[in-house]
Amino acid sequence: MSVDVNGRTGARRAEPLGTTHLPDLDAGLDLPEQPRRAVRAVRSSDVFALAGSAVAAVALTALLTTVVLPTSGVVSMVLIWYVSFLGLYALLVSQDEQRTVVVDRIATVVLSTAGVILFGVLVFVLSYTVSRGSSALTHANFFSQDMKDAGPLQGLEVGGMIHAAIGTLEQISIALTLTVPLGLVTAVFLNEFPSRFSKFVRTIVEAMTALPSIVAGLFIYATFILMLGRPKSGLAAALALSVMMLPIVIRASDVVLRLVPGPLKEASYALGTSRWKTVWHVVLPTARSGLTTAVILGTARGIGETSPVLLTAGFSATVNANPLEGPQVSLPLAIFEFVRSPQPAMIQRGFGTAVTLLALVLLLFIAARIIGGRAPGQETARMKRRRKAESAKDAARMAARLGTPVGVLVLVGGIVAGLALAPSAPAKAADAFVPISGAGSTWSQNALDQWRRNVNQYGMQVNYQGTGSSDGRNQFRNGTVDFAVSEIPYGLKDGGVVDTPPTRGFAYMPIVAGGTSFMYNLKIGGQRVTNLRLSGDVIAGIFTGNITQWNDPKIKADNPGLALPARQIIPVVRSDGSGTTAQFATWMSKEHAQVWNNYCATAGRPTPCGVTSFFPVVSGSKFVAQAGSLGVSGFVSQAQNEGTITYVEYSYALATNFPVVKVLNSAGYYVEPTANSVAVGLEGARIDKNLTQDLTGVYRNRDPRTYPLSSYSYMIVPTATTSSFTTAKGYTLGAFASYFLCEGQQQAPTLGYSPLPLNLVQAAFKQVARIPGAKVAKNPYAKCNNPTFGPGGTNLLAKNAPYPAKCDKQGPTQCLNGTGGAKVPTANTGGAPDPGNGTPSGGPGGGSGTTAGPGGSGGGTATTGTGGAPGTPVGSGAGTGGTGTTPGGVGSAPVVGAAVDPETGLPAGTTLASGAPVAGQSVNVASGAVGGQTLLLLLAGLVLVGAVVVPPLVGQYLGRRA
């Protein structure tokens, strides 16, 4: 209806405008805009000077970087080039210009450089994102699927980001619905009703534009989620975005409205028009293009915001078209979550999602450019024509009185619903199940993620957000999730405060067992070490900053077969509240209380430190803190992060193809946290009445097959309904639990966990029965095929666990076979006797010496160390391939007698006892003398510099003489 009237208003407005004095003023102002004469021209000598000095600078850089300042860094080379370029250019220009002109030229170059750098970086950032994301973008499924079927190791042919795209669209739509009307009304208020009050409002609004977006998120988190007890949802995210966008929209609209020419309004008032009509027919149409631009740019800003959404939206891997309930991920948040995974496919998905987001922002941006960029009220001829046609059409349609807005809404709603329903159409048989969501432990997340993907086929939608056990327990207490997963129970004292249990009814239910492993990134001579073994004391020493070097004698004592490098140990710990940290801290406080308490004291914690979910880090130490299991394992697995070690569940090492430490148990064996050794270790666990665990017996289990840091992970389930936990949810949770307690356990070993034994499965099913609405089958464990279920309740997995190999016993020998996700054997570099059954031909050195220092006199010919290390180079025992007879032995693994510099851990020479090549990079420690090639380069450079600089100098000299 407004369009109809608008068209007429526009026409009417054009006439009075022509009769006022305004256009004359404009015409007068336009005069200086006439094309100005160019005051400078480009001469050929300028171009030559520029090009010449650029080329000469290349030569000079080559010279400097090879001879004077040896460096291979691209950044420093470019810097040197630039400085020399400026110098040479100044020199050349100064030959035929005055000082002021030289300064002008240099300034021009410098300013242009700034522009080139900025736009270069923009282009680079965009093209980098596109190139990294292109592999994901070429898969059509990336745009049509969500992540419900894609596991962490799944390739790009499955899974996509449609769930995030839907989330973003819905959240931004809600935010716009809230902010645009309110924002516009407020902007009109600020402009049309000037008073002391409106001035105050304007000041407050301007103040709020300074509100950091994360604080806006924190506000909604504290009010909407914590105080009102609503679960994280798309609505909460939209509210957070609204709080952030509202001041931006108001302020931008305010500025635009202020630009509406006063005479226009005055003319309207002069005609006797009311205030409302003036605003509606004059002010708003005049400022329309500016207002639209303001809104679009605000939208672009809101769409790209991550931090408010991070706190409020929750994370779901499946399409959730309902913004009112359940977690709903958005594009920026999905990017953030994708790239936390160290898996290449996930990172590609992250970049692919980033490209999608960029495309969306670009689209909005272009739209804003097309609409904006015109003065208020200015219209193209085409727009005028189109508007006339449209108003005619509108008038006809209005006459028919078909409620258009409703039609549009239906259309939009239909599209959204269609999008939402399309992927979930096959699951319509599962109407009995409702989506449930949980949060917590990343320790057991790999298992949970697998299980919830598996139950998708039954139509169950389970969302799980790995945010750390502390966060999971908090969210469960606040009622924002339906279940939590944690390694430790409520009620423990952490940092002097008791983690209070929730007031609602709840129960602990064991879900899976596993080993807290120590994943590391260490290389000797360019080859990955995969057989590191450590005793508890050493681990405690490393994670309390007492043992700082890999070649520490204590580590050497554990690893006679390794010539460990003099590299720093970088412990990587969890920065978030974590159950893994709590498990590790429990072990530390029980087994190494003194060291642990001393460390806590230096980190400023009250002692005795005891169990804590937050690893204490001394500020300024070498410790690196990362969030989540993915964070720490991802950090360790980066190639350049050599020397790092972290504590993380075994499955993360498997997933990243990295080795884990074999930990010394009470029986004197170094053991890897396989499903078997965890099962054996947990035979020593004492399970309390509420099913929580006391692990002291595990730490000290005398069985030689024990992995001492084994533990269970728990799900915390509600035993009473609340406003947000219904029996329908209980039914789904019960079905999900029944699945993973039974069939799900079969997959535990392949995932890097250990299945639950029968007694715990039985106890867990009793807890499932307590969930309101849950249905448990009569004999739920009959067909589970759980590998631990043996006759008469024995734990078959533990019973049949293989005994560790002899070489894994504490002593002078060391197994060479790999661990965790890195099964490649490691060369014996430390001079330890051959661990296999072959005759030790390594000589007398290794046999008795438990601490294998540089003692192994090997068959290797004498080599010289390049590092100038004081120690004599170690020739290793040139063993023949060990013929492993023990299970899990070395088999036919080649024993490479690599000579390794004990100081650096790098290959000392190329002569190898066995003749097998060792891939290693040589380190140029002492910069060598200038070689022939360098001399040539030097000469060439000098000639080039001369060729550029000398002619003008000579020319000038001659000119002066003439």
Partner 1 sequence: MSALSALSRGSRRRARVEPADAVFASVAHAGGILVLVVMTSVGLFLGYRALEALQIAKLHFVTEQLWEPDGGRFGIAGVLLGTISVGLVAITFALPLALGTSLFISEIAPRGLQRTLISLVDLMAAVPSVVYGLWGAFFLQSHVYGLSKLISQYLGWIPIFAIPGSNPDDPLDSATQYQSSIFIAGMVVALMITPIMTSVMREAFSQAPVGEREAALGLGATRWGMIRAVVLPFGRGGVIGGTMLGLGRALGETIAVYMILSVVVGIQPHILKSGGSTVSALIAQRYGDSTRVGVSALMAAGLALFLVTLVINFAAASVVARSRSGAEST
Q: Looking at residues 346 to 385 of the shown chain, list those that interact with partner 1 (rule: CB under 8 A).
A: 347, 350-351, 354, 357-358, 361-362, 364-365, 369
Asked if 187 and 170 touch (Cβ cutoff 8 Å), the reply is no
Segment interacting with partner 1, rule: CB under 8 A, options 274-282, 695-703, 751-759, 829-837: 274-282
Q: Which of residues 54-113 bind partner 1 (CB under 8 A)?
A: 71, 73-76, 100-101, 103-104, 107-108, 110-113
Q: Work out whether 606 is an interface residue with partner 1 (CB under 8 A).
A: yes
Q: Interacting stretch for partner 1, rule CB under 8 A, among 215-223, 406-414, 689-697, 849-857? A: 215-223
Asked if 503 touches partner 1 (CB under 8 A), the answer is no
The residue from 155, 194, 212, 608 that contacts partner 1 (CB under 8 A) is: 212
Q: CB of residue 63 vs partner 1: minimum separation in angstroms?
A: 18
List the alpha helices (DSSP H) in 209-283: 213-220, 234-258, 262-270, 275-278
Structure tokens at 295: 């809104």
Cβ-count burial 22-45 (b if 16+ within 10 Å, e if not): eeeeeeeeeeeeeeeeeeeeeeee
Per CB under 8 A, the list member of 140, 153, 204, 916 interacting with partner 1 is: 204
Options 17-25, 464-472, 767-775, 879-887: segment touching partner 1 (CB under 8 A) = 464-472
Q: Which residues pair with 664 in a beta bridge?
A: 670
Which residue from 32, 262, 870, 932 is in contact with partner 1, where contact means CB under 8 A? 32
Three-state DSSP class for residue 649: strand
Regarding 335 and contact with partner 1 (CB under 8 A), the answer is yes
* Nearest to partner 1 of 128, 957 (CB atom): 128
442 lies in the site for partner 1, by CB under 8 A? no
Exactly one of 496, 870, 915, 928 binds partner 1 (CB under 8 A); which one?
A: 496
Using the rule CB under 8 A, which residue among 336, 543, 652, 739 binds partner 1? 336
State the nearest-atom distance from the C-beta of 79 to partner 1, in Å: 9
Span interacting with partner 1, options 447-455, 471-479, 690-698, 724-732, rule CB under 8 A: 471-479
> What Cα–Cα distance (Å) separates residue 139 from each residue in 134, 156, 161, 348?
9, 7, 11, 11
d(CA 961, CA 726): 101
Shortest distance, position 100 Cβ to partner 1, whole Å: 5
Of 79 and 422, nearer to partner 1 (C-beta) is: 79
Q: Determine, following the binding rule CB under 8 A, whether residue 470 of this chain makes contact with partner 1.
A: yes
Give me the half-sphere count of Cα atoms (radius 13 Å) on the Cβ side of residue 50.
Answer: 12
Map residues 386-415 to x or -, x wherever contact with partner 1 holds by CB under 8 A: -----xx--x--------------------
Q: Give the integer Cα–Cα distance in Å for 962 and 957.
A: 9
Angle, CA of 952, 92 and 102, to the nearest 5°: 135
C-alpha closest to that of 301 among 172, 140, 108:
172
885 binds partner 1 (CB under 8 A): no
677: Cβ contacts below 8 Å, ≥ 6 apart: 515, 671, 705, 706, 707, 710, 801
Structural contact between residues 329 and 291, judged by C-beta atoms closer than 8 angstroms: no
- In this structure, are residues 573 and 647 in contact, taking their beta carbons and an 8 Å threshold? yes
User: Under DSSP, is residue 775 helix (H, G, I), strand (E, B) or coil?
Assistant: coil
- Using a 10 angstrom Cβ sphere, with 0-12 exposed, 13-18 middle and 19 or more buried, the burial of residue 126 is middle
Q: CA quadruple 583, 585, 590, 595: dihedral positive or negative? A: positive
Contact track, partner 1, 850-869, x by CB under 8 A: -----------------x--
Interaction of residue 427 with partner 1, rule CB under 8 A: no
Provide the pairing of β-strand 533-534 with 483-486: unpaired
- How are the residues of the chain apportioned to helix, strand and coil, as percentages rounded to the nearest 5? 50, 10, 40
Q: Does 421 bind partner 1 (CB under 8 A)?
A: no
One character per residue 786-825, x = contact with partner 1 (rule: CB under 8 A): ----------------------------------------
Which CB sits closer to partner 1, 170 or 901? 901
**Range in contact with partner 1 (rule: CB under 8 A) among 138-146, 449-457, 610-618, 765-773:** 610-618
Cα–Cα distances in angstroms (integers) from residue 873 to residues 657, 728, 812, in the given order? 31, 70, 20
- Identify the residue among 65, 253, 289, 307 touching partner 1 (CB under 8 A): 307
Pick the piece of the chain touching partner 1 (CB under 8 A) from 43-51, 749-757, 870-878, 902-910: 902-910
Query: Is 775 one of the binding residues for partner 1 (CB under 8 A)?
Result: no
Take residue 69 and report the two structure tokens written for it. Answer: 């300042």
Residues 495, 501, 502, 891: which binds partner 1 (CB under 8 A)? 495
Distance CA 77, CA 59 (A): 11
**Residue 627 in the binding site for partner 1 (CB under 8 A):** yes
Nearest Cα neighbor of 774 from 445, 433, 475 is 433
Contact between 161 and partner 1 by CB under 8 A: the answer reads no
Q: How many CB atoms lie within 10 A of CB 526?
A: 14
Least Å distance, CB 230 to partner 1, is: 16
Site for partner 1 in 647-686 (CB under 8 A): none
Q: Does 50 bind partner 1 (CB under 8 A)?
A: no
CB 894 → partner 1: shortest distance, Å? 26
* 180 vs 805 by CB, closer to partner 1: 180
Q: Is 182 in the site for partner 1 (CB under 8 A)?
A: yes
Reduce the DSSP state of residue 111 to 3 states and report it. Answer: helix
Of the pair 360, 784, the CB lying nearest partner 1 is at 360
Instruction: Examine residue 332 and tell whether it contacts partner 1 (CB under 8 A).
Output: yes
How far apart CA 474 and CA 372 sit, in angstroms, is 47
561 in Cβ contact with 852 (< 8 Å): yes
Contact, 162 vs 148, CB < 8 A?
A: no
Interface pick for partner 1 out of 125, 270, 415, 862 (rule CB under 8 A): 125
Cβ nearer to partner 1, comparing 311 with 460:
311
Q: How many residues bind partner 1 (CB under 8 A)?
A: 147
DSSP state of 225: I
Work out how close the CB of 882 gets to partner 1 at its nearest, in angstroms, rounded to a whole number: 30
Of 427-435, 559-567, 670-678, 811-819, the segment contacting partner 1 by CB under 8 A is: 559-567
Q: Does 207 interact with partner 1 (rule: CB under 8 A)? A: yes
Amino acid of residue 632: V
Q: How far apart are CA 712 and CA 733, in angstroms?
A: 20
Query: Is 527 a binder of partner 1 (CB under 8 A)?
Result: no
554 contributes a contact to partner 1 by CB under 8 A: no
Please provide residue 354's backbone torsions phi and psi, each rounded to the nearest 5 degrees: -65, -40
Comparison of 31 and 962: residue with beta carbon closer to partner 1: 31
Binding of residue 29 to partner 1 (CB under 8 A)? no
Q: Which is nearer to partner 1, 132 or 554 (CB)?
A: 132
Omega prior to 606 cis, within 30 of 0: no
Tokens representing 336 are 């953030």
336 contacts 306 by C-beta, under 8 angstroms:
yes
Which has the closest alpha carbon to 833: 805, 860, 811? 811
Is 297 a binding residue for partner 1 by CB under 8 A? The answer is yes
Binding status of residue 438 toward partner 1 by CB under 8 A? no
Say if CB 528 and CB 822 are below 8 A apart: yes
